[in-house]
Structure 1
Amino acid sequence: MYVCAFLYRSERLKITREHLQRNPNDVKHWYTFGMLLLNLNRPKAAKAAFERLLQVDPYMANVRLELAKLLIDQSNET
């Protein structure tokens, strides 16, 4: 079951990345991309995706919250 879920997320990540290459200002897909990266335990890439999203729409509070959580997690690791 876990392997299947991982493959599903990996495939969604690939599809979302391709969509963003064609539609770089799609806020919904940037959020999806960042959350998928988080779920795949790739926090640095997720942070970059969320930062890119905020360049498109700086008023997304939920994205700022996700970034804050990432920064807290990073500070706890050091």
Structure 2
Amino acid sequence: MGVRHIDKKKCLRCGLCVTICPQDVLRRDDKKYPVITYLQDCQSCFLCEKYCPAQAITVSADRERRPVLPW
């Protein structure tokens, strides 16, 4: 499922997670908090979780995949 949760109470609003994400999954809102915007693109690489200085991000090992829809 990729990035599962961002704890805004712990978040330092440093923006490191947004900068380090290789797939541009996270963006910053108007208050500079990181927001999950493109969850389907998350590769579950754990970089945002690993480098978060406040340990405010939780990532799941499963990758988010789009459902195959019939046309």
User: What interval of TM-score do these two structures reach, taking the shorter chain for normalisation?
Assistant: 0.3 to 0.5
TM normalised by structure 2 equals 0.33
If asked which structure has higher relative contact order (CA below 8 Å, sep 6+), I would say 2
TM normalised by structure 1 equals 0.32
* Higher-strand-fraction structure: 2
